[in-house]
A and B are shown apart, each in its own frame.
Chain A
Amino acid sequence: AQSVTQLDSQVPVFEEAPVELRCNYSSSVSVYLFWYVQYPNQGLQLLLKYLSGSTLVKGINGFEAEFNKSQTSFHLRKPSVHISDTAEYFCAVSSRSNDYKLSFGAGTTVTVRA
């Protein structure tokens, strides 16, 4: 089985500053990795996903993530955040055998301040 650990439960950040959200996964098999965002009172929206190929993945809204197999990590970054990036961010993993089955981390709440 796969699992995900999001290392920070809350990340406060000032507007226009960079942000990094950390995600580590554990699995005995090859995995697929995802980042989702949840704005207040809304459903989740996919930011980006890693399936194969280049380890640097670019997503929507200026976010990117890097898959590091040796460190079993998939950290999310944005070089300059906006107030509108205030949301909860979830890292998720699925295995090649059950590729539809997402296991989510506990989430990281990002609060962007002016």
Chain B
Amino acid sequence: QQPVQSPQAVILREGEDAVINCSSSKALYSVHWYRQKHGEAPVFLMILLKGGEQKGHEKISASFNEKKQQSSLYLTASQLSYSGTYFCGTDLSGSRLTFGEGTQLTVNP
């Protein structure tokens, strides 16, 4: 069951904020967030686990609503370097991730 990400794309000006959402129809063990720049490999941003534990980037925040099986990634005071495609990966089984289709973020000067 592929998670649903929204929005599909967002365009910002430098310094603006953005929120990317990820929702699943099934119970999750954890949610992962990755960013991919064009022509490069995905890079890890954050993991959110059941019970509230988090691992990840200091300058990026995220939330995980276990009851609703939803996660949100918060990008504040965006920089040009934030541009890329953001993927959430949901863990349904404890051993593998299922990724969403991605959210394309563009930050303009």
The answer on A and B forming one complex is no
- Chain A positions within 8 Å of B, measured between CB atoms, are none
